[in-house]
Structure 1
């Protein structure tokens, strides 16, 4: 099968910054290639039109045409022309697009096109309790109405998306996944006396970063030796119009707790696993996700997790079995669970082993790649 992914991002040195969508596509694309399928990456919003091949995957960089008021239309027609030419040449059978900003709207192609719901702008604005741009909502709904099929990365995301757009479109739940071989614990003899709390991801309000200082302040009172490591790109805050979420966070820490916080910014994706493996506990106090790859990475590397209890969370973590789920605003409970993992090494190890086993059984890229192929097959004419 010849599968193309239409995406605004992908973690590659020639592409630029990538977030969760790009990372999830990378794991899936590599697994599909391993299964013997041909994979094309159609990456829009680039600084040039170019194509190259790497690790068996074919890349097309697409530069968006710039014309005030018509850029959205011209970009879609440019993508449409490329897809149709590749399909005519026998180079692709099906295209998968994200729901983000409805890039698939008004793209009329001669092959099937499906959407994988990793969370639209409308979806995230709803969870973040802020207004969505009308143009984004319009395109996202139009795209969902016109595509051939829909995958949702979680039942929660599929159900909420249908509700928000007043749709009743059927969808198939296929979760995000990771490549297990790339996240195999190295079994380093880490110093279990150190107490390092790790958050990795974008520093932004919707990820619960303005709740984390209150949690760490409580932990710091009980375990003043504990450290909090923050890894990820800083971002502006829409609500306050501050240019830095990190700047908003700092005054929220107590004076003594702040001295134990280390923010190192973003690190290359290839280096991230080193930070995860060195951590004692990983925390994800987020308000808005679909099915986060970062959680799967930490679980696969056998790290105990205290994560958000919102929406999608129970589809990833079984509370009290392979991690703890707590609402981000329940600061005392959140801190208590981190402290519990610090002080009970046996519980920490039990969670760690169970977490990796959950990923092996449910979120392996090999399993998810085959589920995706089975889904694509129903739309491809023999």
Structure 2
């Protein structure tokens, strides 16, 4: 079977910066190619057109067409022409695209189109409780309506999206995945007591402005505790401030802030070293579809305290593979962290159970097989 992924991002040195959508496509592509399927990755919004093959995956970099008022439509027609050329040459059976900004709203290729929800702009604006651009919502609705079938990485995201767009279609749920070989606990790196790790973009929707208030509570109970923060700084959509990290700093108590280390954006291999060393990983987020970062920490057998909103119980079983608490409940969130810092046996128990859940539900082997079976049924 020959599958194409149409995407605005992909984690490759030639493609520019990438987030969760790109990572989820990379993991799925690995699983599909390992199972003998052929994978094409079509990345639009590139600086130049280019075609190359690497590690058995075929890449098409697509430069957007520039013409005031018509750039998006002409780029969509350019993408449609490329896809139809691949279909005509019997190089392609099916195309999958994300829901973000509805890129397929004006693309009608000569093969089935699947949209997989990783969270549309409409969805995230709803969770952030801020207005969505009317045009974005229109395009996302049209893309979802035009798709031959729909996938979602979580039931929660499917239910909210269906309600927001008044959709009559149902969604098949297939979660995001990770490469278990890349995310295994390194026994050579000893766990560092009293070390808390947050990794992810510094942005309001991921609870970055709650993190200092939670850490202040933990520090009051345990002045030895240290917080490591890893991730790209971002601007704030509410205030317009160019740096969320600058907004976070005054929220820390002065003494607690001395135990905080912000490393910024660093290579992923280095991030994995910090995950290995952390005693507890924390994710006080407000808006996700199905967070890959949580699954990565679980795979490395980390004790986790995370948000209890919506999608969370589809990843973590509260009290079994981690703790789930609302990000605004700072004292309760902090208390769960303290419990895990003080009880290493419980921390290890959560980590072992978390790894087992990832192996059963979120490995690329499992998810690639589910996706392949889904594609085959649609093609047939």
CA-CA distance at 1:268 after TM superposition: 2.2
Kindly provide the CA deviation profile for residues 308-366 of structure 1, in whole angstroms up to 9, marking residues without a partner as x: 00000000100000100000000000000000000001100000000000101111110
Q: Which residue of 2 aligns with 1:146?
A: 146
Kindly provide the CA deviation profile for residues 55-104 of structure 1, in whole angstroms up to 9, marking residues without a partner as x: 11111111111222111101111110110111111111100000000011
CA–CA distance in 2 between the matches of 1:278 and 1:135?
45
CA–CA distance in 2 between the matches of 1:269 and 1:64?
29
Equivalent residues in 2 for 1:98-247, closer than 5 Å? 98-188=98-188, 190-192=190-192, 194-247=193-246
Is 2:189–2:273's contact at 8 Å kept on the other side of the alignment?
Answer: no
Q: Which residue of 2 aligns with 1:40?
A: 40
Q: Find the residue that maps to 1:116 and give its secondary structure.
A: strand
Is 2:189–2:276's contact at 8 Å kept on the other side of the alignment?
Answer: no
Equivalent residues in 2 for 1:1-382, closer than 5 Å? 1-188=1-188, 190-192=190-192, 194-381=193-380
Q: Find the residue that maps to 2:241 and give its secondary structure.
A: coil
Q: Find the residue that maps to 1:158 and give its secondary structure.
A: helix
CA-CA distance at 1:272 after TM superposition: 2.4
Q: Find the residue that maps to 1:277 and give its secondary structure.
A: helix
Kindly provide the CA deviation profile for residues 149-193 of structure 1, in whole angstroms up to 9, marking residues without a partner as x: 11010100111100000112111000001111111212235155x
CA-CA distance at 1:265 after TM superposition: 0.9
Moved more, 202-211 or 62-71: 62-71
CA–CA distance in 2 between the matches of 1:71 and 1:224?
55
Q: Find the residue that maps to 2:338 and give its secondary structure.
A: helix
Structure-2 change in CA distance of 1:57 and 1:363 (3 Å): same
Kindly provide the CA deviation profile for residues 184-217 of structure 1, in whole angstroms up to 9, marking residues without a partner as x: 212235155x311111111000000000100000
CA–CA distance in 2 between the matches of 1:265 and 1:45?
26
Is 2:189–2:277's contact at 8 Å kept on the other side of the alignment?
Answer: no
Is 1:114–1:151's contact at 8 Å kept on the other side of the alignment?
Answer: yes
CA-CA distance at 1:13 after TM superposition: 1.0
Moved more, 46-55 or 309-318: 46-55
Q: Find the residue that maps to 1:5 and give its secondary structure.
A: strand
Q: Find the residue that maps to 2:356 and give its secondary structure.
A: helix
Q: Find the residue that maps to 1:199 and give its secondary structure.
A: strand
Number of equivalenced pairs: 380
Kindly provide the CA deviation profile for residues 263-322 of structure 1, in whole angstroms up to 9, marking residues without a partner as x: 111112343211211111110000000000000000000000000000000001000001
CA–CA distance in 2 between the matches of 1:147 and 1:378?
15
Is 1:11–1:269's contact at 8 Å kept on the other side of the alignment?
Answer: no
Moved more, 292-301 or 216-225: 216-225
CA–CA distance in 1 between the matches of 2:132 and 2:160?
15
Which runs of 5 or more structure 2 residues have no equivalent in the other structure? none
Q: Given the two structures, how large is their TM-score scaled by the length of structure 1?
A: 0.98
CA–CA distance in 1 between the matches of 2:8 and 2:260?
33
Is 1:6–1:42's contact at 8 Å kept on the other side of the alignment?
Answer: yes
Is 1:228–1:260's contact at 8 Å kept on the other side of the alignment?
Answer: yes
Is 2:191–2:279's contact at 8 Å kept on the other side of the alignment?
Answer: no
Which runs of 5 or more structure 1 residues have no equivalent in the other structure? none
Q: Find the residue that maps to 1:104 and give its secondary structure.
A: helix
User: Following TM superposition, where does structure 1 have runs of at least 4 consecutive aligned residues deviating by more than 2 angstroms?
Assistant: 268-272
Q: Find the residue that maps to 1:243 and give its secondary structure.
A: coil
RMSD value over aligned CA atoms? 0.9
CA–CA distance in 2 between the matches of 1:203 and 1:189?
26
Q: Find the residue that maps to 1:378 and give its secondary structure.
A: helix
Q: Find the residue that maps to 2:106 and give its secondary structure.
A: coil
Q: Given the two structures, how large is their TM-score scaled by the length of structure 2?
A: 0.98
CA–CA distance in 1 between the matches of 2:289 and 2:210?
20
CA–CA distance in 1 between the matches of 2:3 and 2:278?
37
Structure-2 change in CA distance of 1:191 and 1:3 (3 Å): closer
CA–CA distance in 1 between the matches of 2:71 and 2:178?
34
Is 1:101–1:121's contact at 8 Å kept on the other side of the alignment?
Answer: yes
CA-CA distance at 1:33 after TM superposition: 0.4
